[in-house]
Amino acid sequence: MAIKIIQDECIGCSACVAACPFGAITMQDDAKAFITEACTVCGACVETCPVSTIVREEEEKTVAMDKAEYKGVWVFIEQVDGHIRGVSHELLGEGRKLADAMGQELAGVLIGNHVEDVSKDLFASGADKVYLVEGAEYSHYNTDGFTVTLTDLIKTYKPNVILIGATNDGRDLGPRVACRIGTGLTADCTNLDIDAETGLVAWTRPAFGGNIMATILCPEHRPQMGTVRPKVFKRPVPDFTRTGEIVRVASKVKPEDIRTKFIELLQVCITSCNLEEAEIIVSGGRGMCKPENFKLIEDLAEVLGGTVGASRAAVDAGWKPALHQVGQTGKTVGPKIYIACGISGAIQHLAGMSSSDSVIAINKDADAPIFKVADYGIVGDVMEVLPIMIEEFKKLRQA
């Protein structure tokens, strides 16, 4: 689609300039309206023009691929030292629903070194098939090797849909592969569905700082690709009676394809910062007043065997590193228990923790938005409430 102004008929009234919400229309020296590259083809100007000189045109589409050749739903499986990351199981569960709705098979793409044994876990989570690529060059994730391999698999087997976790590795891999195969990629999705009218995957993601939810379709290119945040979907209950087919694919990656060399793995903040996998998270916000007071958050997390989180306000203030941030611009979590301490509950923060099983909120403002999503609420000063909670939990542990 494109918006065009018929210059010979433009009367220079500038009504379209005021109507454009994106400031994409300007008046030229000859008193004619001109559409700039900022145009989003929203059509507001078309309805405003009093002489109907602004029109919406269909652009000619030239797509060479035969979309009917693309079948199946794929999930890229992230694994570290033979341990599958939780987000991969979550995507297999959601991918199972998509595959069933489209009448297609669900496959996991497993790339690593000596990882065949974990295939049974992928079948248990819903996979019908596993594409397995093994080699020493895949012992640790590297951009070049994994990009070449996944791209080659897509070109060979032509999947219809590919789901990738919106993790550090997934956000690195997904866009590179999408660019190489000439398709689009919807990033950081929080919901997946099938569009009733077209049968396409409807990818839903937050936009404009989380204030609206945008649903995106990919009608003209294949595969349909997207990255999905960890913990937005529940992990399926494993069924170890399920079996499936393993398709072994020889590695085509050459040493010169990989431009980096693995030297050493430094494990920093693995336990205290692994928010996506945590079952208990204690988060602090602006209400903690100063960084020293986060010691109470850390003490409560320690006694509960949990992990420390923080709101964006606390991270922006420098009270905690960004690795701890929960929310729209941080990490999406879904623990069994989420304790929000001094967090007001802005929509951006709620988007990152609303899938928690139980939410406990502590805030001295009884009208704070966080209480609307909390299962349990304590109205009070966190500096007075937290020491009491820590002491009581210590007594329970000793008992």
pLDDT attached to residue 177: 96
Evaluate whether residue 263 is within a structural domain: no
Say how far apart CA 265 and CA 126 lie, in whole Å.
32
279 near 333, Cβ under 8 Å? no
Evaluate whether residue 62 is within a structural domain: no
User: What angle (nearest 5°) sits at the alpha carbon of residue 318, between those of residues 343 and 329?
Assistant: 60
325 in a known ligand binding site: yes
Four-CA torsion 235, 298, 389, 384, nearest 10 degrees? -130
pLDDT attached to residue 212: 75
Is 283's pLDDT higher than 90?
yes
Higher local confidence (pLDDT), 94 or 255: 94
Is 197's pLDDT higher than 70?
yes
The answer to whether residues 220 and 357 belong to one domain is: no
pLDDT attached to residue 211: 66
Instruction: Give the pLDDT mean for 195-209.
Output: 85
- pLDDT band, residue 209 (cuts 50/70/90): low
Alpha helices in the chain (DSSP H): 15-19, 44-48, 86-102, 119-124, 143-157, 168-181, 270-273, 294-304, 312-316, 347-353, 370-373, 382-398
- pLDDT band, residue 114 (cuts 50/70/90): very high
349 in a known ligand binding site: yes
pLDDT attached to residue 246: 96
The answer to whether residues 227 and 338 belong to one domain is: no
The answer to whether residues 230 and 133 belong to one domain is: yes
327 in a known ligand binding site: yes
Is 85's pLDDT higher than 80?
yes
182 in a known ligand binding site: no
The two tokens of residue 17 are: 């300039």
pLDDT attached to residue 273: 63
Of the residues 57, 75, 92, the one at which a domain ends = 57
329 in a known ligand binding site: yes
Of the residues 257, 286, 311, the one at which a domain ends = 257
Evaluate whether residue 357 is within a structural domain: yes
The answer to whether residues 35 and 86 belong to one domain is: no
CB crowding 95-106: b at 16 or more within 10 Å, else e: bbbbbeebebbb
326 in a known ligand binding site: yes
pLDDT attached to residue 202: 94
Evaluate whether residue 334 is within a structural domain: yes
Is 130's pLDDT higher than 80?
yes
CATH code, 92: 3.40.50.620
Model pLDDT for residues 152-186, shown as the tens digit of each residue = 999 999 999 999 999 889 999 999 999 999 999 99
The type of residue at 335 is P
Say how far apart CA 268 and CA 178 lie, in whole Å.
31
pLDDT attached to residue 392: 93
Is 340's pLDDT higher than 90?
yes
Q: 157-166, 207-216, 248-257, 390-399: which has the minimum mean pLDDT?
A: 207-216
Could you tell me whether strands 79-80 and 73-77 are parallel, antiparallel, or unpaired per DSSP bridges?
A: unpaired
Evaluate whether residue 26 is within a structural domain: yes
259 in a known ligand binding site: no
The answer to whether residues 179 and 238 belong to one domain is: yes
pLDDT attached to residue 108: 97
CATH code, 285: 3.40.50.1220
The answer to whether residues 245 and 318 belong to one domain is: no
The answer to whether residues 91 and 227 belong to one domain is: yes
Instruction: Give the pLDDT mean for 244-273.
Output: 81
345 in a known ligand binding site: yes
337 near 316, Cβ under 8 Å? no
The answer to whether residues 81 and 158 belong to one domain is: yes
- 377 three-state secondary structure: strand
Say how far apart CA 109 and CA 386 lie, in whole Å.
45
Which residues are CB-neighbours of 389 under 8 A, at least 6 positions away? 300
Is 291's pLDDT higher than 60?
yes
Calculate the alpha carbon distances from 263 to 2, 140, 260, 266 in Å: 50, 11, 9, 10
- pLDDT band, residue 210 (cuts 50/70/90): low
Evaluate whether residue 311 is within a structural domain: yes
Evaluate whether residue 264 is within a structural domain: no
Instruction: Give the pLDDT mean for 328-343.
Output: 90
286 in a known ligand binding site: yes
The two tokens of residue 213 are: 């939810």
The answer to whether residues 249 and 282 belong to one domain is: no
pLDDT attached to residue 348: 85
320 near 314, Cβ under 8 Å? yes
192 near 94, Cβ under 8 Å? yes
Is 59's pLDDT higher than 80?
no
Q: 10-14, 130-134, 266-270, 356-360: which has the minimum mean pLDDT?
A: 266-270
pLDDT attached to residue 312: 93
Instruction: Scan for tokens 């306000």, then name that residue.
Output: 313
CATH code, 47: 3.30.70.20
Domain count within the chain: 3
354 in a known ligand binding site: no
- How many CB atoms within 10 Å of residue 318? 8
344 in a known ligand binding site: yes
The answer to whether residues 83 and 212 belong to one domain is: yes
Cis peptide before 255 (omega within 30 of 0): no
Is 62's pLDDT higher than 60?
no
The answer to whether residues 209 and 72 belong to one domain is: yes
The mean pLDDT value of the chain amounts to 90
**One-character DSSP codes across 328-363:** TTSB----SEEEEES----HHHHHHHTT-SEEEEEE
pLDDT attached to residue 97: 95
Domain that holds residue 324: 270-398
Evaluate whether residue 265 is within a structural domain: no
373 in a known ligand binding site: no
Say how far apart CA 36 and CA 181 lie, in whole Å.
30
Of the residues 201, 223, 257, the one at which a domain ends = 257
328 in a known ligand binding site: yes
The answer to whether residues 190 and 225 belong to one domain is: yes
